[in-house]
Structures are given as structure tokens and as C-alpha cells.
Amino acid sequence: MAGQRMEYIGLNRSELKYRFTAGRMPTEEDFMSLIDSMVNAVDDGFRVSEENGLEIKQRRDNSRLASFFSNLAERKPEWFASVRKNIEQGETCLNIKTPEMKEDETAVTLLSKRSAENPEGASEIRMGVGCVTPQSELDVNGVIASKGRLGYENENLEVVADGEWHDVTEVLTGCQCFEIVAGVGGNEGDGKFALAHAIAVNTFNKNPSINLTQSYSGGRGSKIDIRWKTAANKFEFTLQLRVHHKYDDEGKVKVRYRLTKLWYDTQMIGSIGK
């Protein structure tokens, strides 16, 4: 760094080997350089154990854990990492940032949060990109560029292309919103295909709505239908799929679908003032 005195970093291996060759008399400074060139578990906070592998300890709370340099002579790190603890919130964060970033800025944050009701239980893990305190499993404060995006398919809820309705969610209640993409193709030579995209919204099974867009070939019987179905309790419901007409007689053709949950405050707790 310009104008800053460069820190002395000791002798390199070649110099140390020369000072300790046969026939030479190493000085006190040579022994000090040799000692300082080695890792000291007490002073440096480094240790290797069978249980944890390489162990690294911060010198002070909320100080830098590690710094990464492209050139040690410049003494200016390109990146550094630090571990921060918030005992009251039960949170521990690993922050990775550059020296130019402010205290409330970070490049990447890994956060571990323990429940106050069950402090010995499993931690809730979150990752933040560009945010110090991520609020979700992945929290990005910026623009995401990707070649694609997939929802999930419940492996326990299979949709056979047999013309019957099939659940694609467990029984739900409250305020729900899903994005669903579904596709199906018939046997070779049938010419039957369908691809559908929908946004499905429901509030305690009152005035549920589905906005469906789709393309199909092979006649209207190839189309995919989506609906909300009332469960045993009038306030409970499931999301269902079907094709207009069965795609084969053996039941081997399946409708593939991907669900993405778009709303998580199912009881609208966040709308109530604190």
C-alpha cells in the first residue's frame, strides 16, 4: 500500500538453509527467523486434529480470520474472510468480502442460525450474495442470470396420463400461490404432445384462480387441465393435474410437472402490525 511501511516477513527457505549449513554459526536472529517461520498453535491459532482437520481460530472476536493476497509484498489483500457471532440471535456468520467494502457490505455470507427454543438442535443454514444477513436459504441482493430454472416434482405424487385427476401437492390450507409447468408426450408416432404453464392462487379455498397457458398437438384430448380440489375440510385443498384423454391403454405414459412455490406467509402474519 502506497506510503505504508512494508512489514518484515522473515527469511525464505533458501536463506534459512544457508544460515544453518554445516560449519556456519547461526545467530540469535537466525533462530528467531526459524521459529517465526513455523506455525505455532498457541500464537497463530492453527492446529490440526483428527476430528476437525485444519483448525483456524480468529485472534479477536469479529476480526479477520483469513486474508488472501495476489502479492504478499504489497500487503494488501484481495479478499478476506471473517467469522461473526451474534449470541443473542443465535447466529454465526462467515463473511467473505474485499477491503473496499463497508462494514455493512459483503460479497458472500454463510449464516448458521439456531432456534432459541431448541439451541442444541439442527442449525438453519442460509447463504447471502451481496447481503450481510440473508433472510432465506439463498438471498441475492442483485441480478441473477441463469440459462434455466426448475421447480420440483413430488416423487410420491405421480401423474399418469390416463384422463383422471391426480394430486400434485399435499393437502394445503391458507394462502397459497404456485407456478406449475407440465408436459407430456405420447408413444412414438402418436403425434400427441402438450406443454402447459400456469399460476395457481388460492386463499382458504375462497375464489381460487388458475391462469393457464398451453400448447398441444394431436387433438383437444391431448390437452393438460389444472384445478384446485377441495379436501375433507372446506378450507383445505390440493392442486391437481390431468390430461383430457388417456395417452395409452397401459398407463405407461406419465405427465411430467415442476412446481415452484411463490408465497410462504400462508396466514398473512406479516400483514399484522407489530
Tell me the helices (H) and strands (E) count for the chain, helix number first: 3, 16
pLDDT of residue 7: 46
Instruction: Tell me the pLDDT tens digit for each residue of 146-197.
Output: 999 999 999 999 999 999 999 999 999 999 999 999 999 999 888 999 999 9
CATH of the structural domain 166-261, one choice from 2.60.40, 3.40.50, 1.10.3470, 1.20.1530: 2.60.40
Write out the H or E segment, with its range, that includes residue 68.
strand 64-68
Would you list the domain boundaries of the chain? 13-37, 57-140, 166-261
pLDDT of residue 76: 87
pLDDT of residue 61: 66
Is the separation of the CB atoms in 222 and 194 below 8 Å?
Answer: yes
Phi and psi at residue 236, to the nearest 5°: -115, 155
Enter the C-alpha cell of residue 67. Answer: 486474508
Nearest to 245 by CA among 186, 170, 171, 189: 186
Q: Is the pLDDT of residue 14 over 80?
A: yes
Reported as a pLDDT band with limits 50, 70 and 90, residue 48 is: confident
Q: How many CB atoms lie within 10 A of CB 137?
A: 9
The DSSP annotation for 122-168 comes to PPEEEEEES-SS-SSSEEESS----S----B--TTS--BSSSS-EE-
Query: Quick one: average pLDDT of 16-32?
Result: 88
pTM: 0.74
Reported as a pLDDT band with limits 50, 70 and 90, residue 37 is: confident
pLDDT of residue 229: 98
pLDDT of residue 2: 40
Reported as a pLDDT band with limits 50, 70 and 90, residue 215 is: very high
Sheet holding 175-185, edge to edge: 206-217, 193-203, 175-185, 256-261
Instruction: Tell me the pLDDT tens digit for each residue of 60-72.
Output: 766 788 899 998 7
Q: Is the pLDDT of residue 5 over 90?
A: no
User: Which one has a higher pLDDT value, 91 or 45?
Assistant: 91
